[in-house]
Amino acid sequence: MIIEFQQIRSLIPGYIFNEFGQLSGHFVRADEIVCESDDGRIRIWLNRAAFEARDPELLICDYAESDLRGLQA
pLDDT score recorded for residue 70: 81
Q: Residue 57 forms beta bridges with which residues?
A: none
Q: Where are the alpha helices (DSSP H) in the chain?
A: 5-8, 15-24, 48-53, 65-69
pLDDT score recorded for residue 73: 47
Residue 71's pLDDT band, with cuts at 50, 70 and 90, is: low
Total count of domains within the chain: 1
DSSP-derived secondary structure for 3-20: E-HHHHGGGS-THHHHHH
Is residue 68 situated within a structural domain? no
| Structural domain range at position 54 | 2-61
Average pLDDT over residues 14-21: 96
Average pLDDT over residues 33-50: 97
For residue 66, the one-letter residue type is: S
Is residue 8 situated within a structural domain? yes
Average pLDDT over residues 29-58: 97
Is residue 46 situated within a structural domain? yes
Is residue 66 situated within a structural domain? no
Average pLDDT over residues 22-50: 96
